[in-house]
Amino acid sequence: MKIICIGRNYSDHAKEMNASLPTSPLFFFKPDTAILKTRDFYYPEFTNDLHYEIELVVKISKVGKHITVENAPNYYNEIGLGIDFTARDIQQECKEKGLPWEKAKAFDNSAVLSATFLNKKNIDLNNINFGLALNGETVQSGNSCDMIFSIDYIISYISQFVTLKTGDLIYTGTPKGVGPVKIGDKLVGHLENKVCIELKIK
């Protein structure tokens, strides 16, 4: 299983990062060891600026390569919620040196995943509400309608380069409002007004 993450897929987030808008989907990977297995997250020692990024997550249901946009709906059935934890200080350093971001993105437990996934038949893919609260205060609210690249386009694009396999996860990018966490914080993520992630920073 692999985890593919899309960067800068919401223009309001690209703007808050002072980043230009991508003309094609920007993607990077996290290994399967990045999946958090518990509901406790331990603040890593190597960063002083750990950021949350709440994202819709697509679960791939069928192996595929060179998938067309029209055929992309046949390759997923479920949408979940995730947090793409990012060591922003390390990412900034990598960006400045023109180096890959993996050190800032792919570390153990950096991919939080909801236990609940919604069947795509029961939701409007162009109007999925999601968000994140930090210590009870909403810090991020997003809607899939604001994605620069749609789920179908992302699947098609990635599959031109990389074979998608059953169980692969695609983190589809974060809306604006990313920010730091500290030990003791509580994060609560919602998907279509249902709480799907509850996480304590330890």
Q: Which is nearer to Mg ion, 53 or 168 (CB)?
A: 53
In angstroms, give the least distance from the CB of 53 to Mg ion: 4
Taking CB under 5 A as the criterion, which residues in 93-132 touch Mg ion? none
Counting Cβ atoms within 10 Å, is residue 54 exposed (0-12), middle (13-18) or buried (19+)?
A: buried
Distances (CA, A) of 139 to 38, 53, 74, 175: 23, 10, 34, 10
Q: Which among 13-21, 68-76, 111-119, 174-182 is the span making contact with Mg ion, rule CB under 5 A?
A: 174-182
Question: Is residue 84 close enough to count as binding Mg ion by CB under 5 A?
Answer: yes
Strands of 9-143, DSSP E: 26-30, 40-41, 50-52, 54-60, 76-84, 86-87, 111-113, 118-119, 129-134, 137-143
Non-local (6+) Cβ contacts of 20 within 8 A are: 14
Q: Which is nearer to Mg ion, 64 or 79 (CB)?
A: 79
Applying CB under 5 A, which of residues 53, 110, 132, 168 lies at the interface with Mg ion? 53
Q: Which is nearer to Mg ion, 19 or 145 (CB)?
A: 19
Question: Is residue 168 close enough to count as binding Mg ion by CB under 5 A?
Answer: no
In angstroms, give the least distance from the CB of 86 to Mg ion: 7
What residues line the site for Mg ion (CB under 5 A)?
53, 84, 174
